[in-house]
């Protein structure tokens, strides 16, 4: 049976947070365990360039995303893990797909409008972002793409472009499916809105010391008084706790919410301790990797060379189909 190709990417546009972890990284990493899957994961540094970071910062963030991902459990023996910019074939496919992409399709993208609303400058890269993302996905004949809910529209754009391509040039591209797990579709941030690097409401995966504890303590809750019973399922603290705790631990905290007499400070402390424990091993692994940057670079280079083989084959097919070869 042909293996199922799973692909996803994360931009190196800041420090990775719990939204990235539970929404995209954990489900992606779990996919490795099934031998029927063949996973391709990459660091979208071309996409991060749309925000024009300082060169040293872009480099540093890209390296940090590699560390985060590897520390969280990517197994480079099984999974092809690479840097987007190391496989330049994606740019050629992106151009070819661009020519098939109606302006209106991109004009409707929420993520673009949202970024403008948050003060980002409207450059062409930002506008064309979904086309490059479609190229990322289609270049590797991906069957399924695990992402958080905010990427759903980008997946629809990708499917739309692939279908247009196949209609015009004959069956050439694999039409991918999004994989969005409902329970982790939107992880709330400190303020209860979707956690995001750009909303200043994120909890880093690998935060340490007082500043991170302070963040946990600042999670917004309602104003139910200490004595009164509280509703766990609408509480941001409980929502985050649920992601990391065992069913028994969840039930115990749930009962304390329902019984009353527990302040939110207590729940936040429990959450903070759970977080410390949950990421403890990964934090150790991250430190070891950080002390060995050459090893990380070697993994990325090896990933790029494996990715390039697949990319080349797809691109040859595409070039032939459109009349470039």
- The answer to whether the Cα torsion of 258, 259, 261, 265 is positive or negative is negative
Build a one-symbol-per-residue string for 19-58: x at contacts with ligand ADP by CB under 6 A, - elsewhere. xx--xx----------------------------------
Contact 33, 217 (CB under 8 A): no
Q: Residue 145 binds what, of ligand ADP, ligand TRP, none (CB under 5 to 8 Å, by partner type)? A: ligand TRP
d(CA 95, CA 88): 12
Active site residues: 115, 194, 197
For ligand TRP, give the closer residue by CB, 42 or 272.
42
Distance CA 169, CA 281 (A): 49
Does 137 engage in binding with ligand TRP (CB under 6 A)?
A: yes
Looking only at residues 95 through 134 of this chain, which bind ligand TRP when binding is defined by CB under 6 A?
A: 133
DSSP letter string over 199-214? Answer: GT---BTT--HHHHHH
Nearest to 74 by CA among 114, 24, 132, 147: 24
Six token digits for residue 311: 């990319």
Asked if residue 136 binds ligand TRP (CB under 6 A), the reply is yes
List the beta bridge partners of residue 11. Answer: 44
- Selected from 6, 7, 11, 49, the binder of ligand ADP by CB under 6 A is 11
Return the range that interacts with ligand TRP (CB under 6 A); candidates 1-9, 75-83, 247-255, 301-309: 1-9
Q: Using CA atoms, how far apart are residues 15 and 65, in angstroms rounded to an integer?
A: 8
**Distance of CA 238 to CAs 187, 235, 259, 269, Å?**
12, 5, 15, 11
How many C-beta atoms lie closer than 10 Å to residue 252's C-beta?
Answer: 12
Best CA proximity match to 196, nearest among 13, 9, 66? 13
The Cα 192–Cα 52 span in angstroms is 28
Contact 216, 272 (CB under 8 A): yes
CB of 170 to ligand TRP, least distance (A): 24
Q: Please, what is the minimum distance in Å from the beta carbon of residue 322 to ligand ADP?
A: 30
The yes or no reply on residue 186 touching ligand ADP (CB under 6 A) is yes
Q: Smallest distance, Å, CB 62 to ligand TRP?
A: 13
Contact status, residue 180 vs residue 152, Cβ threshold 8 Å: yes
Kindly indicate which of the ranges 15-23, 162-170, 219-227, 262-270 contains the residues binding ligand ADP, using the contact rule CB under 6 A: 15-23
Q: Is 44 in the site for ligand TRP (CB under 6 A)?
A: yes
- In the list ligand ADP, ligand TRP, none, the entry touching 198 (Cβ below 5 to 8 angstroms by class) is ligand ADP
For ligand ADP, give the closer residue by CB, 84 or 151. 151
| Segment interacting with ligand ADP, rule: CB under 6 A, options 75-83, 86-94, 181-189, 316-324 | 181-189
According to CB under 6 A, which residues from 197 to 236 bind ligand ADP?
197-198
Q: Which residues bind ligand TRP (CB under 6 A)?
A: 7-11, 44, 47, 133, 136-137, 145, 147, 151, 154
Q: Which residues bind ligand ADP (CB under 6 A)?
A: 10-11, 13, 19-20, 23-24, 147-148, 150-151, 184, 186-187, 194-198
């Amino acid at each position: 049976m042909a293996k199922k190709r799973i692909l996803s990417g994360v931009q190196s546009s800041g420090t990775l947070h719990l939204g990235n972890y539970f929404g995209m990284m954990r489900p992606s990493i779990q996919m490795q365990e099934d031998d029927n899957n063949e996973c391709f994961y990459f660091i979208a540094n071309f996409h991060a360039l749309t925000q024009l970071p300082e060169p040293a910062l872009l480099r540093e963030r890209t390296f940090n995303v590699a560390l985060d991902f590897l520390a969280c459990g990517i197994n480079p023996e099984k999974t092809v893990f690479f840097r987007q910019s190391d496989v330049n074939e994606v740019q050629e496919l992106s151009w070819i797909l661009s020519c098939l992409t109606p302006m209106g399709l991109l004009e409707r993208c929420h993520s673009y409008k949202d970024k403008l609303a948050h003060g980002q400058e409207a450059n062409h890269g930002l506008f064309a972002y979904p086309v490059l993302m479609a190229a990322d996905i289609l270049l590797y004949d991906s069957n399924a793409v695990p992402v958080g809910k905010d990427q759903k529209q980008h997946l629809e754009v990708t499917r739309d472009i692939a279908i247009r391509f196949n209609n015009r040039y004959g069956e050439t591209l694999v039409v991918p499916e999004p994989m969005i797990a409902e329970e982790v579709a939107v992880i709330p941030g400190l303020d209860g809105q979707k956690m995001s690097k750009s909303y200043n409401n994120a909890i880093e995966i690998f935060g340490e010391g007082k500043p991170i504890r302070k963040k946990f303590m600042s999670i917004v809750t309602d104003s139910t008084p200490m004595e009164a019973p509280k509703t766990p399922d609408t509480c941001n603290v409980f929502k985050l706790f649920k992601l990391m705790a065992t069913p028994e631990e969840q039930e115990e905290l749930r009962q304390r919410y329902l019984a009353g007499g527990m302040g939110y400070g207590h729940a936040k402390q429990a959450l903070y301790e759970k977080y410390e424990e949950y990421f403890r091993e990964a934090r150790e692994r991250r430190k070891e990797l950080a002390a060995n940057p050459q090893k990380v670079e070697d993994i990325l280079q090896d990933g790029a060379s494996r990715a390039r083989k697949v990319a080349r084959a797809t691109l040859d097919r595409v070039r032939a189909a459109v009349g470039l070869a």
